[in-house]
Structure 1
Amino acid sequence: MSDQSILRITREIIAMQKGSDLSLAVAFKDTNVRNVRALIIGPPETPYEFGFFEFAVKFGREYPTSAPAVNAITTNGGRTRFNPNIYGQGKVCLSILGTWRGERGEEWSSAQGLESILISIQSLMSSNPYENEPGFEDAKTDYDKKNQAAYVAKITHETIRISIADRLEDYLGINRAAPQAITLYNAEEECQSTMDSSLFEPFKDLCKRRFLWYYQSYLQTIERESAKHKDGKVFDKMPFEGAGNTMDGTFNYTDLKARLQIIREKLDKETEDWAEVGKLAVKEERGIAASLQRQFEQTVEHYKRNDSVTIDMELVDKNPFVWQLVLFGRPMTNLDGGLFRIKMYISTKFPDEQPRVKVETPMFHIRVSSDGTLCYIAQRPDDIRSHVDAIIASIEDDAPAYDPRTLVNPEAARLFWGSSDEKKMYNRKLRRSVQDSSETEQQIRNFS
């Protein structure tokens, strides 16, 4: 059973890692597949929206006959209960895990697995988690409605504070006691440093990239909620909270906004400094530098033979860790006549750290945030040409499937998936930015 169990777990992990679900991620350390880390990104249009919630999953030797043990890690050090079914101490109450009595047929079966467990946990992160508490499923009184709104309000605040701001500050080494004191980035130290092998942070790069994707959405949430909840207002206590298993605190959206802005500045600085780290790697003749140089040359040759795409490519300062792309809009499309300057920064830790892409030409587009962050998904994350392919596909796609987890430009998304008149407005704004792009590019070339 033990060998079969390991094979089953391994297959499930590989299937999830190769899957297309952008809201779930799994990883394990070294070869210990029985101890898995999982990340759930909070569902859109809920108080958990785009938060980063981590769980530890431990598979016993009897799996899949018996369910694994699951514990929440994102609990503010055991002080915050994010859901009636997700306790501050980490317990996750689900009938399929055997941690809660459910209806007949809801218990664990070997047909279920890691993905179904995570989807079940994700389903708890609803727009009205107050109803998850037993006995409150059909609460309709004015008292309950008031509590429902208050519960959603404090979860929204703590999702941003704990699952996003605290997590990213830890990753970036930002001191929460004095967040303005950001340690300056040292390229040489970064190039020579080694990670503490005792630490296991498998989702660090993913959360950094997703923070850049969702930054505008976070700020939009803060703007909306701060109008309703003044700084210093104490969280309401729910009737089912108690005995050290609560969500206590006060609203302070002014502070949260400032913290997110600092995180964004630090991430932008980190991205830019990849160029300096890359120069050191070239100087030291490291293998990653030579590999990226080859990949650049091969990618250039590939696109020279591709008549359907017109793109200019060069290395910034001959640095293989910074690629400059200029994409020409295809004729007979909304991008016709446009020239889009795109910069791709690559880490010396690639592919463990994925490239960060900035569309430098102002562009009104559902996949481009107002500050130029591009949302794209490479089919082969370990191959740079696949990233270039995905960048082009993301910008050129004029009929994308609706996926709220890829909405990096809230205003553009609202228009694109709105009424027919709003869709027309989106196309007008896109065309206007396309027309402006050719003028901007001409000015850049004249200045050069």
Structure 2
Amino acid sequence: MADQSIIRITKEIGELQKSSDLSLAVAFRDRDVRNVKALIIGPHETPYEFGFFEFSVKFNKEDYPRKSPTVTGTTTNSGRCRFNPNIYGSGKVCLSILGTWRGERGEEWSAAQGLESILLSIQSLMSSNPYENEPGFEDANELHDKKNQKEYIEKIRHETLRISIIQRLEDYLGITGSCLTAPTPAEQQNYRIDLDDDIDVDDATVPWEPFKDLCKRRFLWYFDTYLETIKKAKEEVKDGQPFVRMPFEGSSNTMDGKFNYTDLEQRLCRIKAALDAESDRWAVEGVSSRVKDTTMAVNLRRQFEQIKESFKGSDVPRNIELVDDNPFVWDLTYFGRPMTNLDGGVFRIKLNFSPSFPEEQPRVKFLTPIFHHRIATDGTLCYFPKPNRREDVKQHIEAIIEALEEEQPPYDPRTLIHPEAHKLYWGSADERRTYNRRLRRSVQRSAEDF
């Protein structure tokens, strides 16, 4: 029975890791599939939008799938933040399928359910109006209730930014404080690895952070959306205004604090500067790796030479070069396909590789300005390499081109990387025409500036 349970858990984890769902991620350590970390990215158009919410999932190898695993929320600001009526500050998740809440008949756990259904059920709690999850909601006084709903949404939106995004990224990057400048040299040293040093680190002392690179890349995707959220929120609340305690919040199970969007905006910008500096450091570290002829430097150079050769027989004009002969920095030039909105365009795209590639995925940025719904205002591209080919740079380049050229993509709010372009692209017929005109103008300028 135990072996069958392990096989079932391993299969479910594998399916999730291969999934195209951009809002769920799972990981386990050292073959211990019974102890899983899961990340849920907050849904679009909710106060949880693009937040990073982590959960611990523990399976009992004797009982699963007859009984559900134990799930605990870990994004709680050390137990001080209750992100939902059903997600407590202690981390308890109240769901009928987990046996932690009494639901209607048929809502309880069954062996037909699994890890993905649990995560999707938790994600469904992160709605546009989470106050409705409170059991007494239907019996509440309507006028008073509407006021509470609005105030509850406001503080969840603030704490989603502050705790699930900003605090998480600051911890990853080793930066502190609240100023609109780049990290100080001392702070940069906190998260720098000097390739000239011989580092002997006990794995037991290193925190396990399986979603670190994913969150960094997604932060760069959603940076403009975070700023837009703050801009709108500043119109609704004032800095220093205290959070309102909800009727269902107890003294040890609440979300207390004050609004300070000015501070959050500054910290967001500082994180962005730190991530940009990190990409630049990869390039510097890459030079050292090239000189030392490390395995990764050799691997990337070999891939570069193979891809460059393959471009010679391609029907789409494109070219790649190494920047300063550094195998960790690639310069890709793409020429727009004829008879498309990109026709006549010439775009330079930079790929920065980490010395830890593929554990850390490349940072891709358009150096040529372009108005495109999958490209942020700073040139950051939202693209999806195949999950099982993360080490294959050619697959990354193909995914980059696909994201740029895709003419009729299905609507996916998780690709909201350029708020203005996204709104026009998925808006009315007139808005789509406006989008196409602005895209074409940027394409024409790219050829003129080349």
Same fold (TM over 0.5): yes
The one of 417, 429, 433 equivalent to 2:442 is 433
Q: Does 1:238 align with 2:243?
A: no
1:279 aligns with 2:287: yes
1:284 CA drift (Å)? 1.2
CA contact (8 A) 2:79 2:90 kept: yes
Change in Cα spacing, 1:71 to 1:187, as seen in structure 2 (3 Å) is closer
Contact 1:26 1:36 in 2 (8 A): yes
The structure 1 residue matched to 2:273, chosen from 259, 265, 272, is 265
Q: CA deviation at 1:140?
A: 6.3
- Unpaired runs of at least 5, structure 2: none
1:120 maps to: 121
Residue from 197, 205, 214 that aligns with 2:203: 197
Q: Distance in 2 between matches of 1:294 and 1:416?
A: 39
Q: Which residue does the alignment assign to 2:332?
A: 325
Are 1:215 and 2:219 matched, yes or no? no
Once the 2 structures are TM-superposed, how far is the Cα of residue 195 of structure 1 from its aligned partner?
6.0
Please tell me the residue identity of whatever aligns with 2:354. S
> Could you say what secondary structure the match of 1:324 adopts?
strand
Equivalent position of 1:340 in the other structure: 347
- Structure 2 CA distance for aligned equivalents of residues 177 and 233 of structure 1: 19
C-alpha distance in structure 1 between counterparts of 2:261 and 2:99, whole Å = 38
Match of residue 44 from structure 1: 44
User: Do the aligned residues in 1 keep the contact of 2:179 with 2:266 (CA within 8 Å)?
Assistant: no
Contact 1:234 1:251 (C-alpha < 8 Å) held by counterparts: yes
Percent identity over paired residues: 62
Of 281, 293, 306, which aligns to 2:301?
A: 293
Map of 1:39-438 to 2, 5 A cutoff?
A: 39-61=39-61, 62-137=63-138, 139=140, 141-176=142-177, 182=184, 183-185=187-189, 189=194, 192=197, 193=199, 197-198=203-204, 199-307=207-315, 309-379=316-386, 380-438=389-447
Q: Aligned in 2, Cα 1:190/1:130: closer, same or farther, shift over 3 Å?
A: farther
2:17: which partner in 1? 17
- Partners of 1:195 and 1:224 in 2: how far apart? 45
Contact 2:426 2:432 in 1 (8 A): yes
Cα deviations by residue, 1:170-220 (Å, 9 ceiling, x for unpaired): 000012478865323586615645665231100000000000000000000
Q: C-alpha distance in 2, partners of 1:215/1:139?
A: 37
One-letter amino acid matched to 1:257:
E
Contact 1:340 1:437 in 2 (8 A): yes
**Distance (Å, rounded) in 1 between the aligned partners of 2:192 and 2:107:** 53
| Pairwise CA distance, 1:135 | 1.4
**Offset at residue 229 of structure 1 (A):** 0.7
Match of 1:33 in 2: 33
RMSD of aligned alpha carbons: 1.5
Name the CA shift for 1:190/1:131 in 2 (closer, same or farther; >3 Å).
farther
Amino acid at match of 1:322: V
> CA-to-partner distance for each residue in 1:411-438, whole Å, 9 max, x for gaps?
0010011110000000000000000001
TM-score, scaled relative to structure 1: 0.96
| SS across alignment from 1:34 | strand
Q: Is the 8 A contact 1:191 1:277 kept in 2?
A: no
Aligned letter for 1:121?
A: I
Instruction: Tell me the residue number matched to 1:444.
Output: none
1:340 aligns to what SS in structure 2? strand
CA contact (8 A) 2:179 2:270 kept: no
Contact kept? 2:16, 2:26, Cα under 8 Å: yes
Distance 1:133-1:110 versus aligned 2 partners, 3 A rule: same
In structure 1, runs of 5+ residues without a counterpart are 442-448
Secondary structure of the residue aligned to 1:108 is coil
Tell me the amino acid that sits aligned with residue 39 of structure 2: L
CA distance in 2, matches of 1:440, 1:299: 26
Amino acid aligned to 1:34: R
Match of 2:307, SS state, is helix
* Superposed CA offset, 1:58-88 (max 9, x none): 0002101110000000000000000000000
In 1, the alpha carbon distance for the partners of 2:156 and 2:13 equals: 30
Q: Deviations over 1:334-375 (max 9, x none)?
A: 000000010000011111000000101010001101111000
Amino acid at match of 2:246: M
Q: Look up the equivalent residue of 2:165 and give its one-letter code.
A: I
User: Equivalent residue of 1:369, what SS?
Assistant: coil
Q: Could you list the per-position Cα deviations for residues 222-250 of structure 1 after superposition, in whole angstroms to 9, with x for gaps in the alignment?
A: 00001111100000110000131000000
SS of the aligned residue for 1:326 comes to strand
Residue type at the aligned position of 1:382: E
Shift of 1:18: 0.4
1:446 counterpart residue number = none
CA contact (8 A) 1:214 1:408 kept: yes
Closer/same/farther in 2, CA of residues 17 and 137 from structure 1, 3 Å limit? farther
Q: 1:286 to 1:20 in 2, by over 3 A?
A: same
- Secondary structure of residue in 1 paired with 2:280: helix
